[in-house]
Amino acid sequence: MATVLVIGASRGIGFEFARQYRADGDRVLATCRTDPAAERLRKLGARPLQADVLDAGSRAALLPQLGGERLDLLILCAGVYGPRTAGLAVPEPAEFDRVMHTNVLAPMHLIALLAPTLAPGAKVALISSRMGSIGLMASASGWLYRASKAAVNAVLRAASLELGGRGVVCMAFHPGWVRTDMGGTGASIDATESVTQMRRVIAQANDSHNGKFLNYTGEHLSW
Ligand SMILES: NC(=O)c1ccc[n+]([C@@H]2O[C@H](COP(=O)([O-])OP(=O)(O)OC[C@H]3O[C@@H](n4cnc5c(N)ncnc54)[C@H](OP(=O)(O)O)[C@@H]3O)[C@@H](O)[C@H]2O)c1
């Protein structure tokens, strides 16, 4: 039985990670921001933790809530898309801050905060996006989101260099285009398929996967 912490598990891909790991009998700690979300997670058999990743006090309160648990897997899933711009429409500063703080600064804080709780050989899965790939980019749509995911990919890569020496395997994932509130109803796969595939890749990951950017099906993606 592994101990898994999912950050951003109230709905969408994060909720599905919590559901599937619980269904397999793992110990699941899962963060959310509201009481109804906590109740849905409790019904799965997960232990809900309250965390708004934008709030420093809320992030810091995670450690005492963990109560000395050692994590075998940390999944960083909380994210926002921000303004759905086309072309070179410049985001408002407040939007820029919200997207960059949620998608980039929060994972930096959380990785640093939670690193001491990772068990030897633990894995860190950061849910990024192919839209953050500079090499594969073919459109300017949602360029703030793209920039945030490119930045968090660099964060993941840097973390892999720090934590790899302790046997921790850090990976960035593109989860596919997934039918969630963010992905929309026209997306190509559902959360069950996305998470089933990522869980298979995570389970098989070894040292050679540390610092890699992976499609949900396991293929390497260009940064
Ligand atoms: N869906 C796709 O097609 C797709 C594609 C590529 C990458 N991704 C990435 O996959 C991840 C999950 O996306 P999703 O499709 O599941 O999105 P979603 O359905 O919109 O869910 C977003 C999750 O992030 C949480 N979150 C947002 N801001 C937060 C904050 N300040 N503090 C704590 N939690 C916060 C939300 O919690 P609340 O319920 O409390 O708001 C929710 O649990 C994101 O990082 C996204 O960028 C998704």
Distance of CA 81 to CAs 26, 57, 141, 181, Å?
30, 24, 11, 10
Structure tokens at 182: 């963010």
- Mean pLDDT (the chain) is 98
Distance of CA 48 to CAs 9, 199, 201, Å?
9, 20, 25
Q: For residue 45, give the 3-state DSSP assignment.
A: coil
- pLDDT recorded at residue 40: 98
Q: How confident is the model at residue 14 (pLDDT cuts 50, 70, 90)?
A: very high
Name residue 74's beta-bridge partners: 5, 124
Share of the chain above pLDDT 70, in %: 100
d(CA 219, CA 203): 15
d(CA 160, CA 65): 25
Mean pLDDT computed over 105-121: 97
CB neighbour list of residue 72: distance below 8 Å, 6 or more residues apart:
2, 3, 4, 119, 121, 122, 123
Nearest ligand 1 atom, CA 145: 47
Distance from first CA to last CA of the chain, Å, rounded? 33
Share of the chain above pLDDT 90, in %: 100
- pLDDT recorded at residue 113: 98
d(CA 161, CA 5): 21
pLDDT in tens, 59-76: 999 999 998 999 999 999
| Atom 44 of ligand 1, nearest CA residue | 79
pLDDT in tens, 194-223: 999 999 999 999 999 999 999 999 999 999
| Atom 24 of ligand 1, nearest CA residue | 78
Whether the full predicted model's pTM is greater than 0.95, yes or no, is: yes
Q: Closest Cα partner for 201 from 15, 17, 6, 12?
A: 17
Q: Is 132 in the pocket of ligand 1 (CB under 6 A)?
A: no
pLDDT in tens, 121-143: 999 999 999 999 999 999 999 99
d(CA 71, CA 116): 9
Q: How confident is the model at residue 109 (pLDDT cuts 50, 70, 90)?
A: very high
- pLDDT recorded at residue 206: 98
- How many CA atoms are closer than 13 Å to the CA of 94, on its beta-carbon side? 0
Q: Is 152 in the pocket of ligand 1 (CB under 6 A)?
A: no
- pLDDT recorded at residue 30: 98
Q: Is 107 in the pocket of ligand 1 (CB under 6 A)?
A: no
Mean pLDDT computed over 112-122: 97
Q: Which residue has the tokens 């994590």?
A: 71
Structure tokens at 217: 């099906």
Nearest ligand 1 atom, CA 10: 43
Which of 33, 131, 189, 194 to mutate for ligand 1's pocket (most ligand atoms within 8 Å of CB)?
Answer: 33
- pLDDT recorded at residue 165: 94
Can you list the alpha helix ranges (DSSP code H) found in the chain?
12-23, 35-44, 56-60, 62-66, 93-100, 106-114, 143-163, 191-204
Structure tokens at 168: 């921790």
Q: Is 12 in the pocket of ligand 1 (CB under 6 A)?
A: yes
